[in-house]
A and B are shown apart, each in its own frame.
Chain A
Amino acid sequence: MAVKIYSKYDKVKYLRKEALPTALCPGCGGGTVLNAFANALDELKIDPKDIVVVSGIGCSAWIASPHFLADTLHTTHGRAIAFATGVKVGLPDKKVVVISGDGDLASIGGNHLLHAARRNIDITVILVNNFIYGMTGGQVAPTTPFGAITTTSPYRNIEHPLQISETVAAAGASYVARWTTAHVYQLIASIKKALQVKGFSLVEVISQCPVQYGRRNKMKEPAEMLRWFLKNSVPVSKAKKMPPEELEGKFIIGEIVSRQRPEFTEEINKLIKEVAERYGLGDDDAD
């Protein structure tokens, strides 16, 4: 069965066949993200040999690892960006991409996310935000909307969600964009841009989890969740003119920030050259 399904998919060359089918539930937004990522690479003609994909723990960590055919490092919970930092320093000419979820990257791994953005290390993070701990059984997350029902907020969520993209932009990233799985072409365009930007880039993808989030919040069908995304999405330009109370419960979509800042691996390699000059360590004066 599975053989037939994926053999018709024209981006199958990017996937590890022996790892298919994926573990994602029917209706999950993860497949859309994987497809968008594969399309972005295809359009940019990036050889998967020039990519290292790093992920953490949870459903979204499974989107590209092990399914994507590249060097893949599947790490501990929350630490993907810190692992990726070591990979990038070792392989500054490769594209290092982290694909993982909101709980993984913004809750337990929030500190690494902020500091990688501050350092502006050339890593692309695709953060799949489905408002929930899916694989673990639908527990409340720091991204769960206020008032939502989850297995650990059975009456209602009394906490407010973290605005991940805005926080990462404030921390110093070169590029930050947010889209939903209902904005596939814009998403592909942003992933392409993120992969080309020199510096830390984040693409936050609002994604549906009909199994753990939707069905407890009156959106049992994936399509209902996508309609919810479309109805409540507000472009960045429009959001700037809206008061905060009107933005409650909305998804601000588009490019949050796009700028040039000194990049970490370039700086550290520049520093090494400076030190060699300062101490006269070059080849010429070898003794």
Chain B
Amino acid sequence: MIIRGDEPEQLRLLRKLYKPGNYFMQGNEAVAYGALFAGCRFYAGYPITPSSEIAETMARELPKLHGYYLQMEDEIGSIAAMVGASWTGFKVMTATSGPGFSLMQENLGYAVMTETPLVLVDVQRSGPSTGQATKGAQGDFFQARWGTHGDHPIVAVSPVSVEDAFWETIRAFNIAEKLRSPVVVLFDGVIAHTREQMRIPDVSEVEITYRKLPKNEEEAKLPFGGALVPPMPLFGHGYFTHVTGSTHKENGLRDVYTQEVHDRLVRRIHKKIEEHEEEIQKWEEYFTDDMDILIVSWGVSARPSLGAVLKARDDGIKAGLFVPKTVHPFPGKRIRELSKKVRVILVPEMNLGQLILEVQRYVNDDVLLKGVNKIGGVPLRVEEILREIRGVA
């Protein structure tokens, strides 16, 4: 099974509704179509700029696919409804932006603790607080990582273009389903509202996965143990599954007093991400075989970064580019390897320095590490990054 419900019918509908070919599409729409292709049939959300087109597209398209769009009373209710629906077997998604992402943090932790697959799209906008509601930013890098309380792992992916948004959303669903874990799509208001060409594939080109279900009653008795990623005994099958955000034993029953029970549970939740790190991590490299200066950039800022690297190379400056598509868990090992080849690392991003702190953990002191930062809702320009490259060349 790859989608809850009648699978051949779902594939028939996808083919009928979305003909393969090139489309002129907005980033937010691409996220929504990615979700539909991935098998998402439940969306609960609350409108917020600059993410609302995702909700609007889902509200229009989901009913055509026998799917459910719910507009909840707030963002807290949205992620709560998603968790409830995920336990009935739906692939679920919501989209929001900074203020709504803040409100969702408590139940994001609940999803981590109860190992509930869900996809949460954060279309980053300029903050803190209400900030510049209509302007894009990249200020939620660490909120995605550490926004909810307590020790927890998180997976976050970050697309760099409209077409990439389609595929990265599908990848987010596949990771969420495979590892029974929430996955964050760290999108941004700039690409979200950019229109560019993207290709809608045929459904046969899209590989999608569905969570592991218990094969029998015996397996269903251990929803939270017995395997690194335990099968998920969905509600409504007579398993009498108990799900709680409190520390629980392998059978799901609460035990908040035994140190070993908490240790075993939380370490396993970490381990299931760690053990799959290589599979989860994805990045792009440009000219990294032969370089003196490395640019590390993500999301929208990776685009002018590539422009700057190309221009620098025209000038004979040996610059290379590293773009993490999976930002959490951060592909630091590769950064460590690449840092040994260069004198300087520049980190362009639309914040006052967040990704750079993650890069710093993997780089020796003898490498000059410098941020190229811009805030205020206007993306970095090629010239601005090129100037910094020339300055250190």
Contacts and interface: CB of A to CB of B under 8 A. Distances in A.
Interface of A: 16, 18-19, 48-49, 52, 54, 65-66, 69-76, 79, 82-91, 94, 111-112, 114-115, 268, 271-272, 275-276, 279, 281, 283, 286-287
Interface stretch (B241-249, B278-286, B346-354): B241-249
A79 B76 contact: yes
A76 B77 contact: no
B85 A90 contact: yes
B271 interface: no
A271 B67 CA distance: 11
Given A65-B242, A66-B253, A281-B13, A52 B236 contact: yes
Interface stretch (B86-94, B315-323, B375-383): B86-94
A286 B241 CA distance: 39
Contacts of B13: 281
B74 A54 contact: no
B42 A79 contact: no
Contacts of A283: 9
A128 B72 CA distance: 25
Closest 7 CB pairs of A and B: A90-B88, A86-B84, A86-B85, A82-B80, A86-B81, A82-B77, A74-B244
Given A74-B254, A86-B88, 15 more contacts: A52-B235, A66-B253, A76-B107, A83-B80, A83-B81, A83-B83, A85-B72, A86-B42, A86-B92, A87-B85, A89-B81, A91-B235, A115-B72, A268-B68, A276-B63
Nearest to A66: B242
Contacts of B89: 90
With most chain B CB atoms within 10 A of its CB, the pick from A52, A72, A90, A279 is A90
A276 B67 CA distance: 11
B253 A85 contact: no
Contacts of A69: 240
B318 to A, nearest CB: 52
Contact of A112 (B67, B73, B239): B73
B126 to A, nearest CB: 27
14 contacts: A16-B242, A72-B241, A72-B242, A73-B84, A73-B243, A74-B244, A75-B80, A79-B107, A82-B80, A85-B84, A90-B85, A94-B236, A271-B63, A276-B66
Contacts of B246: 74
Interface string B337-372: 000000000000000000000000000000000000
A271 B62 CA distance: 11
Contacts of A279: 17, 64
B56 to A, nearest CB: 15
A222 to B, nearest CB: 26
B81 to A, nearest CB: 4
Interface in B44-90: 44, 63-64, 66-68, 70, 72-74, 76-78, 80-90
Contacts of A268: 68
A88 to B, nearest CB: 8
A161 B322 CA distance: 59
Given A76-B107, A84-B84, A85-B72, A90 B42 contact: yes
A82 B76 contact: yes
A85 B81 contact: yes
B236 A82 contact: no
A86 B16 contact: no
With most chain B CB atoms within 10 A of its CB, the pick from A69, A71, A85, A111 is A71
Contacts of A18: 253
B267 interface: no
Given A52-B236, A74-B246, A111 B107 contact: no
A115 B77 contact: yes
B239 A71 contact: yes
A244 B254 CA distance: 45
A82 B70 CA distance: 11
Interface in B199-254: 235-236, 238-246, 252-254
Contact of B68 (A75, A89, A114, A276): A89
B12 interface: yes
B84 A83 contact: yes
A283 B16 CA distance: 11
Given A79-B76, A91-B88, A268-B68, A74 B107 contact: no
Given A69-B240, A76-B107, A272-B63, A87 B76 contact: no
B107 to A, nearest CB: 6
A112 B44 CA distance: 14
A272 B67 CA distance: 8
A19 to B, nearest CB: 6
A76 B70 contact: no
B238 A49 contact: yes
Nearest to A69: B240
